[in-house]
Amino acid sequence: MTYEKNVVSGNTTMLILKLLEGQDMYGYQIIDEILKKSGNTFNLKTGTLYPIMHGLEKDGMVTSYDETAESGRARKYYRLTNKGKALLLKKESEWKLYVNAVNRLMSGGEVNAFG
Amino acid sequence: MTYEKNVVSGNTTMLILKLLEGQDMYGYQIIDEILKKSGNTFNLKTGTLYPIMHGLEKDGMVTSYDETAESGRARKYYRLTNKGKALLLKKESEWKLYVNAVNRLMSGGEVNAFG
DNA sequence: ATAATATATGTAGATAATCTATTTATATTT
DNA sequence: AAATATAAATAGATTATCTACATATATTAT
């Protein structure tokens, strides 16, 4: 990551699921999209992404299928399942709670906007 | 943590430094304050806090001194140093960048409020 | 044509943050 | 007197991400 690893930890799966909510994608494309859409902030490594994708597939959160691009390159596309959509909702809600709690702490305990 | 560990990872040090910016505190107090001010969301464990405090002290981010409370209990208070204040600023700025990047991704890439 | 780079998927082992579980000790409550 | 709360601390486990490597094909530069 462009970031200290520790700042980032834990939300990568949520970001991946969110992208797949929009459309099916292959691994390299997910890395590119996350880099672009985050304003060059999240530079996910293949050593991080592929194991996550394999885990998501094993757990039934995504399914995969192979396709050959016009370029001739073989690509493995991932599609979000209903189970994966449910996990995304859960992770979104956890993320919101977490951000709110941090913001409360960072603004001295009152409810107000930090950032 | 009340949270999945992974959602939380990495920002505990920032929260601790932020509390110490307000006043000197001892370990157990930090855990209590973080729990309260986060709305019972961050239930930091002693096995997490004390090693972090020792690391911060070793790195010159905090200094410590012993005091005995009216209750008779021995407490080890921590005080934020200038170096620690600088680290807090850095971590705050990283946190804001991180949240902005996640929000951008979670709202489909446009700049707009998520949560 | 050949070399270098970009695309694409994958694995093994290292690093680091937090957790669980335990230890020690004193104060308070039952 | 026993149980619980406060207070500090450490050892070892778990887990997310990273670095580094491996393999293969397509594109670009020399």
Residue A16 has pLDDT above 70, yes or no: yes
Can you tell me the distance from the alpha carbon of B55 to that of B80, in angstroms, rounded to the nearest whole number?
13
Res A112: pLDDT? 45
Res A1: pLDDT? 45
CA distances from B3 to A90, A100, A113, B14, B42 (A): 12, 13, 22, 17, 7
Can you tell me the distance from the alpha carbon of B113 to that of A99, in angstroms, rounded to the nearest whole number?
13
pLDDT tens, A54-81? 999 999 999 999 999 988 899 999 999 9
Q: Which residue is nearest to nucleotide C6 (CA to C1')?
A: A28
Is residue B106 classed as helix, strand or coil in its secondary structure? helix
User: Could you say which of B92, B97, B115 has the minimum Cβ distance to residue A96?
Assistant: B115
Q: Which residue has the higher pLDDT, A28 or A109?
A: A28
Res B39: pLDDT? 87
Average pLDDT, integer, range B5-32: 89
| Contact flag, residue B76 CB and nucleic strand D, below 7 A | yes
Residue A39 has pLDDT above 70, yes or no: yes
CB contacts, 8 Å: A6 with chain B: 9-11
Positions on chain D within 7 A of a protein C-beta: 6-12, 15-22, 25-27
pLDDT tens, B26-36? 999 999 999 99
Residue B21 has pLDDT above 90, yes or no: yes
Q: Residue A9 CA to D16 C1' — how many Å?
A: 6
Q: Where are the domains of chain B?
A: 5-87
| Contact flag, residue A58 CB and nucleic strand D, below 7 A | no
Res B115: pLDDT? 41
Number of Cβ within 10 Å of residue A54's Cβ equals: 12
User: Under CATH, which number does the domain B5-87 receive?
Assistant: 1.10.10.10
Res B14: pLDDT? 95
Average pLDDT, integer, range A35-47: 90
Q: Residue A42 CA to C14 C1' — how many Å?
A: 21
Report the gap between the CA of B7 and the closest CA in chain A (Å): 5
Can you tell me the distance from the alpha carbon of A44 to that of A19, in angstroms, rounded to the nearest whole number?
14
Assigned CATH topology for domain A5-84: Arc Repressor Mutant, subunit A (1.10.10)
Res B65: pLDDT? 98
**Does the distance separating the beta carbons of A15 and B105 come in below 8 Å?**
yes
Res B112: pLDDT? 44
Can you tell me the distance from the alpha carbon of B12 to that of B109, in angstroms, rounded to the nearest whole number?
28
- Torsion-angle region of A4 (φ positive above 0: left; ψ -120 to 50: alpha; else: beta): beta
Mean pLDDT of chain A: 88
Res B10: pLDDT? 77
Res B3: pLDDT? 55
Q: Which residue is nearest to nucleotide C18 (CA to C1')?
A: B48
Residue A86 has pLDDT above 50, yes or no: yes
pLDDT tens, B47-96? 999 999 999 999 999 999 999 998 889 999 999 999 999 999 999 998 99
| Contact flag, residue B54 CB and nucleic strand D, below 7 A | yes
Query: Which nucleotide comes closest to B47 if you measure CA to C1'?
Result: C19
Mutate to test the interface with B, among A2, A4, A5, A7 (most CBs of B within 10 A): A7
